[in-house]
Amino acid sequence: MASIQILDKSFVPYISKEKIQLRIEEIANDINQKFEGKKPIFLAILNGSFMFVSDLFKEITIESEISFVKLISYEGTSSTGTVKKALGLETDLHDRHVIIVEDIVDTGNTMASFIPDLEKSGAATITLVTLLHKPDATVKDVKIDYCGFSIPDKFVVGYGLDYDQLGRNLPEIYQLVD
Ligand code: IMP
């Protein structure tokens, strides 16, 4: 398989565009059924999820909204550690069905600090959709409702995911060659 080079690292094709698209259709079908009549709001976590959410949202046929947020880290109290704050969230989420769209759950730290924060918004339900999950790397208890692909604990790029900000434009997912 043709490998690619990004900066100092080599990557090989890992999950094809077609495979991603088929999985997205399955996830979208489930969401369309489950959230019919509930007008969910998709909350896309930037930057990594932009390509995934774009393809996923095209397959959503029910009435729904979308909003884009960027999570920034700031130091919480010693008991909470690093907390993620959402920038760009202007919609009132009270009583709304929120569907978080993430690129990857790795250690789980990001979602483990963001979801409790989101719960304070008074959302009716919070659902987590992630394209990728590295179960062997996850140290936090994060409930994933929809997962595209469960993958080994190896670095991946492409389809929105970056290596040092590069590789996001690749239409499929590549895995690091070690
Ligand atoms: P977590 O907080 O460790 O779960 O990681 C969350 C963020 O780390 C993701 O949203 C990604 O932006 C980034 N990340 C984790 N693993 C990878 C990877 O293999 N490739 C690219 N980005 C990654």
How confident is the model at residue 73, as a pLDDT? 80
Find the residues whose C-beta lies inside 6 A of ligand 1.
48, 102-110, 155-157, 161-162
Asked if residue 122 belongs to a domain, the reply is: yes
pLDDT at residue 12 greater than cutoff 60: yes
Catalytic residue among 30, 95, 106, 136: 106
Range of the structural domain that residue 45 is part of: 23-176
Reported as type and span, the H/E element at residue 24 is helix 17-34
pLDDT at residue 14 greater than cutoff 60: yes
Which atom of ligand 1 approaches the CA of 110 most closely? 2
Asked if residue 17 belongs to a domain, the reply is: no
| Residue minimizing CA distance to atom 15 of ligand 1 | 106
pLDDT at residue 77 greater than cutoff 60: no
Q: Are 67 and 89 in contact (CB under 8 A)?
A: yes
106 is catalytic: yes
Structure tokens at 110: 């990001």
Asked if residue 39 belongs to a domain, the reply is: yes
Which CATH number fits the domain that encloses residue 78? 3.40.50.2020
Whole-model pTM over 0.85 = yes
Which atom of ligand 1 approaches the CA of 108 most closely? 4
Asked if residue 15 belongs to a domain, the reply is: no
Asked if residue 127 belongs to a domain, the reply is: yes
Question: 143 C-alpha vs ligand 1 centroid, how far in Å?
Answer: 16
C-alpha dihedral over 73, 103, 176, 5, to 10 degrees?
A: -90
Asked if residue 168 belongs to a domain, the reply is: yes
Q: 154: helix, coil or strand?
A: coil
pLDDT band at 76 (very low <50, low <70, confident <90, very high): low
Reported as type and span, the H/E element at residue 128 is strand 125-133
Which atom of ligand 1 approaches the CA of 49 most closely? 10
Asked if residue 13 belongs to a domain, the reply is: no
Query: How many domains would you assign to the chain?
Result: 1
Residue among 71, 106, 134, 162 to mutate when testing ligand 1 (max atoms within 8 A of CB): 106
Asked if residue 16 belongs to a domain, the reply is: no
* Sheet of strand 65-75, all strands in order from the earlier edge strand to the far edge: 82-87, 65-75, 41-46, 97-105, 125-133, 146-150
